[in-house]
């Protein structure tokens, strides 16, 4: 027993935190992450207070699960009790592709056969949960090989981690007025993830200053006015919430009338952001769009069976909306198509 304790003390004494942190960061970059930071695992007290105010206003819409176990959401040690450090990573998912939504036909009510709906950029390729999760598991395996005393837990959006808050703390970027993390190099086109470790490491202390300035392009462009003030989103008005998270049989009228062709999600606030205009393309091939995932044929969506849906969206983030949600969204878009005019003057 004494020998084991002495061995552990010797191991801890010889552990170089700065060197270990540098090696872990380098490995993360080699695995394909573009940004990585390391911070202490502790309670997010300021962020917790903001979260509670946001929830109190009911801005989380139908996402009632956000009300449960707030201590887990704001302190990673409730998720992984041994956590001492949080490795925060970001990976660029931007591709060169653009939406090409078909225009309604002239001559009678436009049908769905050749009409498409837009899909949010984050869901064009394979499911980011799996891609980011696989890379973080590789990072954990590598870390264990270097330091056998390592224990860790991978977190990719499924666990109740405040991903954007941790990314800000780790110096990866700043919180934009549209409530997405913005990075200098890749704008807001990044996926985030965390690796919780029991290792005490050297921590990053420099955060990136907010560089949104007086810009309000995202707020002004939002079709439904969901960004009620800078850095505050009312999910009940958000097209992404309505088309992905909502399980209601019908989309609320005030949102349905402003969908602007969005079938799954919405990128309007990100598309207009100046920081997203000249971003490099991703080097991860699995983020490249699947066939029919940039602009989806509405008629195809409506004709999907449960079996065909499961096959088409296997390992795709679009599973989140479920078949009933996608078909509801497609019906809503078709119903919003204008009746054609027989002449310019009507």
- The answer for 24, left when phi > 0, alpha when psi is -120 to 50, beta otherwise, is alpha
Question: pLDDT at position 13, please?
Answer: 52
The answer to whether the beta carbons of residues 62 and 245 sit under 8 Å apart is yes
Distance CA 309, CA 339 (A): 30
Question: pLDDT at position 336, please?
Answer: 87
Residue 222 has pLDDT above 90, yes or no: yes
Residue 10 has pLDDT above 80, yes or no: no
Question: pLDDT at position 113, please?
Answer: 62
Question: pLDDT at position 7, please?
Answer: 41
Catalytic residue among 157, 271, 299, 300: 157
Band of residue 158 on the pLDDT scale cut at 50, 70, 90:
confident
**Greater pLDDT, 226 or 158:** 226
Domain ranges of the chain: 2-336
Each residue's pLDDT tens digit, 75-95: 999 999 999 999 999 999 999
Q: Spell out the residues 6+ positions from residue 267 whose beta carbon is closer than 8 angstroms to its own.
A: 120, 121
In the residue annotation, 157 being an active-site residue is answered as yes
Question: pLDDT at position 157, please?
Answer: 87
Which token pair is 251?
């989309």
Residue 12 has pLDDT above 80, yes or no: no
Residue 185 has pLDDT above 80, yes or no: yes
3-state SS, 264-288, equals ECCCHHHHCCHHHCCCCCCCCHHHC
Question: pLDDT at position 103, please?
Answer: 45
Band of residue 122 on the pLDDT scale cut at 50, 70, 90:
very high
Average pLDDT, rounded, for the chain: 91
Which token pair is 345?
């003057």
Lowest mean pLDDT among 112-116, 188-192, 337-341: 337-341
Task: DSSP letter for 101, please.
Answer: P
Mean pLDDT across 10-36: 90
Distance CA 162, CA 102 (A): 37
Q: Which of 137, 154, 180, 23 is nearest to 80 (CA)?
A: 154
Which token pair is 184?
């200098």
Distances (CA, A) of 139 to 29, 150, 224, 324: 10, 12, 41, 37
Residue 341 has pLDDT above 50, yes or no: no
Query: To the nearest whole percent, how much of the chain has pLDDT over 70?
Result: 90
Distance CA 63, CA 102 (A): 32
Question: pLDDT at position 262, please?
Answer: 97
Which token pair is 265?
């999600």
């Amino acid at each position: 027993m004494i020998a084991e304790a002495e061995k552990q003390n010797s191991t801890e004494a010889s552990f170089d935190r700065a060197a270990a942190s540098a090696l872990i960061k380098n490995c993360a970059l080699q695995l394909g992450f573009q940004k990585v930071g390391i911070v202490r695992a502790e309670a997010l007290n300021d962020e917790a207070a903001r979260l509670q105010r946001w929830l109190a206003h009911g801005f989380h819409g139908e996402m009632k699960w956000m009300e449960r176990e707030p201590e887990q959401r704001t302190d990673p040690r409730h998720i992984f009790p041994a956590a001492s450090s949080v490795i925060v990573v970001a990976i660029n998912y931007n591709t060169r592709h653009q939406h090409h939504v078909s225009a309604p036909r002239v001559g009678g009510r436009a049908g769905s056969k050749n009409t498409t709906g837009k899909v949010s950029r984050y869901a064009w390729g394979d499911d980011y949960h799996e891609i980011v999760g696989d890379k973080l598991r590789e990072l954990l395996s590598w870390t264990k090989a270097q330091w056998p005393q390592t224990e860790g837990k991978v977190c990719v959006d499924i666990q109740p981690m405040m991903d954007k808050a941790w990314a800000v703390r780790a110096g990866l970027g700043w919180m934009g007025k549209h409530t997405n993390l913005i990075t200098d190099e890749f704008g807001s086109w990044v996926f985030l993830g965390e690796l919780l470790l029991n290792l005490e490491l050297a921590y990053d202390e420099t955060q990136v200053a907010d560089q949104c300035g007086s810009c309000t392009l995202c707020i002004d462009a939002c079709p439904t006015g969901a960004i009620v003030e800078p850095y505050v989103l009312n999910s009940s008005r958000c097209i992404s919430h309505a088309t992905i998270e909502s399980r209601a049989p019908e989309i609320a009228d005030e949102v349905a009338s402003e969908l602007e062709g969005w079938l799954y999600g919405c990128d309007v606030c990100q598309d207009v952001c100046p920081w997203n205009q000249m971003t490099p393309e991703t080097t991860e091939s699995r983020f490249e769009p699947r066939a029919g995932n940039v602009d989806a044929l509405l008629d195809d969506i409506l004709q999907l069976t449960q079996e065909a849906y499961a096959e088409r969206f296997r390992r795709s983030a679009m599973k989140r909306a479920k078949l009933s949600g996608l078909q509801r969204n497609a019906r809503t878009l078709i119903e919003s198509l204008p009746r054609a005019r027989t002449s310019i003057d009507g």
